[in-house]
Amino acid sequence: MLRRQIRNAGFTDAELEKFQGFFNVVNQAYEDFDEDIKHVENILEKSSNELYKANKALKSEIVNVESKLNTIVNNIEGVIFKTDFNGDFKYLNHAFEEMFGLSIKDSLNKNYKDFFKGINKYQEQKITKVLHESKHDFNTIFEFVKPTGEKIWVELRLVPTYCIQGMADGAIGTLMDITKLKETEIELKQANKTKDEFLSTMSHEIRTPLNAVIGMSDILLMEDFLPSQLENLEVLKYSSEHLLGLINDLLNLNKYKSEEIEIKEKDFNFIELIQNIKHHFKQTTLSKNLSFNVEIESAIPVMLIGDQLKLSQVLKNLLSNAIKFTHKGGIVFRIEKVKSLNDTTVVRFNIIDTGIGVSYDKQKDIFKSFVQANENTTALYGGSGLGLYISKQLLKIQNSELQLESKIGAGSKFWFEIEFRHSKMLTTEIAHSSAKTQPINLRVLLAEDNTINILVMTKLLRRWKVEYEIAKNGQEVLDIYAKKDFDIILMDLQMPVLDGYDTAKIIRKMDDTSKSTIPIVPLTAFSEVEVREKTERYKMNGYLSKPFDVNELHELLKFYSHKSQYAI
């Protein structure tokens, strides 16, 4: 190439000889360049061969990994899928065909809505949000009907995916057959429903005679009796109320576990409550030759505001346990003031016994439901194992905690503290409100089919000089009400011929406004939770549970007597 360039340049022989050295250097440079080119070509060829081998190995590895991943994915029990922005399937593993009975080939590039008819509009909206914009995962359950007609329950889980620019472009997800789990859940719900129905029926059947016991004890306390009979009557009253508390413990066990119990605070005579509890257990301790000392610090106010019923329930549970597990010595029930502020007092309740005690390793377990300190405790002493559990739960919702100190053979000490607000009511006001003897100017239509309940109610109504008439079923209510006017209807919900609900429905549709708007207060042995929604739907007024508190009934009738007089 250099000779060709020199010849084309037209150099003379003299010039060629003159620049011979220079031309030799240039020629050497050309030769060196050629060698470099060959060397680079050799290197490039080797590199190309190496890259080819590496690429081949990488492709082989990719194929191998893909094969392994496909093997894993296709052997997973659940469905794994990938969708695009619109929800069209872009990938489905083999489990899809087995679970849904549909072909993968025919399902790819089809929208999920074409297959999953069990997904509702709300679920569709959520899925669309995941596909388009959501940064959150989503899961739901829906029912799917296979081509064979078989129904299965499916759990869907979705995770959004994003493109290189960070925009949502679809989702990956799983589909799991949870039919067995769902069927078990349905069976459990049915079992719970059956249990609730049983408890509801038992509640009604037990509360009905208990209503008579409590009601008659109240009536006896309102009538003339010998001074020596007072303690016996009070024991009868508080024992029946304690029995009611035990029944409520069993019926409301699920509420304690789900923390649905509410605090109901009102004014009460604290000293009177403690004295009543003392009378309640006096005879039991005497029969076991045990001492029973009640010590109340005088600095505690007589009148307080708190949940008297729950406090009484806890104290009765603790004292009942102390007496049950004590064979000699006795029980000290000590109530002391911890501190007082402007309008509150913190009271500590101590129940100390000389009984069998509780070992250290069992002291945590005895606060669990249906747990006793020893396996033979129930056989030896009786009891359900609910008392301490319920007491702990009742105190928990009052921001208190049940404490225990005990040693085997050396007795036990239970204590807790509760903060009460100070009451502005006087002791005489409470006594006056609990007298339950004041006459009430009222016309009552009582709808009740139970003979014992009628006996109790009529004794109370006569005692309060209330004008009343009895109807033993809903049809009799309508017949009597068509001919006479009343100020209020006390309506049992379960009656023959026509029940309380249907009777109330007919009354509320009467053309005569004065008739259709009469207060209708339901009376029932079912719990408030069971009937509240339905009584509201049938436009009834309030609620009175059996066994009812005589004070509450008196206050209810007194309230409506004022209403009726005002209307006149």
Cα–Cα distances (Å) from 206 to 201, 240, 246, 411, in that order, read: 9, 12, 11, 36
How many C-alpha atoms does 254 have within 13 Å on its Cβ side? 7
**Cα–Cα distance measured from residue 548 to residue 211, given in angstroms and rounded to the nearest whole number:** 7
57-61, 330-334, 370-374, 388-392: range with lowest mean pLDDT: 370-374
pLDDT score of 532 more than 60: yes
pLDDT score of 416 more than 70: yes
Give me the pLDDT at residue 262, please: 72
Q: 170: part of which helix (H) or strand (E)? A: strand 168-177
Give me the pLDDT at residue 384, please: 43
Residue 551 tokens, joined: 């004070």
162-176, 337-351, 379-393, 540-554: range with lowest mean pLDDT: 379-393
Average pLDDT over residues 380-395: 67
**Cα–Cα distance measured from residue 346 to residue 340, given in angstroms and rounded to the nearest whole number:** 6
Contact call for residues 315 and 334 (beta carbons, < 8 A): no
* Right CATH for 79-177 from 1.20.120.530, 3.30.450.20, 3.40.1440.10, 3.10.20.310: 3.30.450.20
Residue 106 tokens, joined: 């025919």
Residue 83 tokens, joined: 């969708």
Domain boundaries defined on the chain: 2-71, 79-177, 263-428, 437-567
* pLDDT mean across residues, the chain: 81
| Single pTM value for the model | 0.48
Residue 374 tokens, joined: 């020893």
Contact call for residues 416 and 317 (beta carbons, < 8 A): no
pLDDT score of 515 more than 90: yes
Banded pLDDT at 291 (limits 50, 70, 90): very high
Q: What is the pLDDT of residues 451-499, one digit of tens each?
A: 888 888 888 899 899 999 999 999 999 999 999 999 999 999 888 999 9
pLDDT score of 382 more than 70: no
Omega cis (within 30) before 547:
yes
In Å, the largest CA–CA distance within the chain is 163
204-213, 253-262, 296-305, 507-516: range with lowest mean pLDDT: 253-262
Give me the pLDDT at residue 565, please: 46
**CATH architecture of the region 263-428:** 2-Layer Sandwich (3.30)
pLDDT score of 31 more than 90: no
Contact call for residues 323 and 242 (beta carbons, < 8 A): no
pLDDT score of 263 more than 60: yes
Q: What is the pLDDT of residues 549-562, one digit of tens each?
A: 787 888 889 888 87
**Cα–Cα distance measured from residue 408 to residue 451, given in angstroms and rounded to the nearest whole number:** 52
**Cα–Cα distance measured from residue 80 to residue 95, given in angstroms and rounded to the nearest whole number:** 8
Residue 502 tokens, joined: 């249907």
**Cα–Cα distance measured from residue 382 to residue 384, given in angstroms and rounded to the nearest whole number:** 7
**Cα–Cα distance measured from residue 348 to residue 99, given in angstroms and rounded to the nearest whole number:** 63
Residue 450 CA from chain centroid, whole number: 35
Give me the pLDDT at residue 339, please: 92
Strand partners, 420: 345
Contact call for residues 73 and 92 (beta carbons, < 8 A): no
- CA 51, 56, 57, 63 torsion: positive or negative? positive
pLDDT score of 450 more than 90: no
Which class is domain 437-567?
Answer: alpha beta
Higher pLDDT, 213 or 288: 288
Banded pLDDT at 295 (limits 50, 70, 90): very high
49-63, 223-237, 289-303, 396-410: range with lowest mean pLDDT: 223-237
Residue 19 tokens, joined: 């620049």
Q: What is the pLDDT of residues 71-120, one digit of tens each?
A: 655 666 688 888 988 889 988 888 888 888 888 888 899 998 888 888 88
Q: What is the pLDDT of residues 333-366, one digit of tens each?
A: 999 999 998 899 999 999 999 998 887 777 666 6
Banded pLDDT at 432 (limits 50, 70, 90): very low
Give me the pLDDT at residue 326, please: 92
pLDDT score of 433 more than 70: no
β-strands 291-296, 330-340 pairing:
parallel
Beta-carbon contacts of residue 406 (< 8 Å; ≥ 6 apart): 357, 358, 363, 412, 413
pLDDT score of 163 more than 70: yes
Average pLDDT over residues 14-23: 75
Average pLDDT over residues 327-333: 94
Cα–Cα distances (Å) from 199 to 62, 148, 382, 500, 534, in that order, read: 64, 42, 22, 21, 19
β-strands 520-524, 544-545 pairing:
parallel
Cα–Cα distances (Å) from 452 to 245, 545, 548, 562, in that order, read: 21, 16, 14, 29
80-89, 219-228, 320-329: range with lowest mean pLDDT: 219-228
Contact call for residues 507 and 475 (beta carbons, < 8 A): no
Residue 56 tokens, joined: 């081949």
Give me the pLDDT at residue 468, please: 95
pLDDT score of 221 more than 80: no
User: What's the 3-state SS for 2-56?
Assistant: HHHHHHHHCCCHHHHHHCHHHHHHHHHHHHHHHHHHHHHHHHHHHHHHHHHHHHH
Packing angle, helices 308-324 and 230-251, rounded to 10? 100
**Cα–Cα distance measured from residue 113 to residue 455, given in angstroms and rounded to the nearest whole number:** 65
Average pLDDT over residues 113-135: 82
Determine the 3-state secondary structure of 305 from DSSP: strand
**Cα–Cα distance measured from residue 252 to residue 245, given in angstroms and rounded to the nearest whole number:** 10
